[in-house]
Amino acid sequence: MVSAWPRDSYVLGGGAAEVALIALSSVKLPDPLPVSRARHGMPDDGDGAMSVALVARDRVDDPAWFADQVLAPFAELIASDLGPSAAALAAVAEHAYVIEAQLDDPDDLGHLQAAWALAKCVCEEGAAVVIDVYAARAYLGSEVAALAPDRAFDVMREVTLFFDEQPDGALAAWSLGLRKFGRPDLVLLGVSPDAATEAALVLRDVAATLAAGDRIEPGDEVSGSGGPGGRVLTAVRFEPEMCPAVAVDGPALVLQ
Task: Give the pLDDT score at 231.
Answer: 75
Closest CA to 70 of 125, 139, 126, 129: 129
**What is the DSSP track for 37-60?**
HHHHT--SSSSTGGGEEEEEEEGG
d(CA 34, CA 40): 10
- How many other CB atoms are found less than 10 A from the CB of residue 62? 13
Question: pLDDT value at position 47?
Answer: 83
Amino acid at residue number 131: I
* CB under 8 A, 24+ apart: contacts of 70-76: 70/22, 70/24, 70/96, 71/24, 74/22, 74/131, 74/138
Chain-centre distance for alpha carbon 52? 15
Read off the DSSP letter of residue 152. Answer: P
Using N-to-C axis directions, what is the helix angle for 84-91 and 75-82, rounded to 10°? 150
The closest of 75, 74, 123, 73 to 97, measured between CA atoms, is: 123
Global pTM value: 0.94
- Torsion sign across C-alpha atoms 189, 192, 193, 198: negative
Q: Can you tell me the distance from the alpha carbon of 105 to that of 128, in angstroms, rounded to the nearest whole number?
A: 32
Number of CB atoms found within 10 A of residue 214's CB:
19
The SS3 call for residue 198 is helix
Q: Over its length of 256 residues, how does the chain's per-residue pLDDT go in tens digits?
A: 788 999 999 999 999 999 999 999 999 999 999 998 889 999 987 788 889 999 999 999 999 999 999 999 999 999 999 999 999 999 999 999 999 999 999 999 999 999 999 999 999 999 999 999 999 999 999 999 999 999 999 999 999 999 999 999 999 999 999 999 999 999 999 999 999 999 999 999 999 999 999 999 999 999 865 444 567 899 999 999 999 999 998 999 999 9
d(CA 22, CA 62): 17
Query: What's the Rg (C-alpha) of the chain?
Result: 19
| Beta carbons of 182 and 17 less than 8 angstroms apart | yes
Residue 36 and residue 39: Cα distance in Å, rounded? Answer: 5
180, HSE (Cβ side, Cα atoms, 13 Å): 34
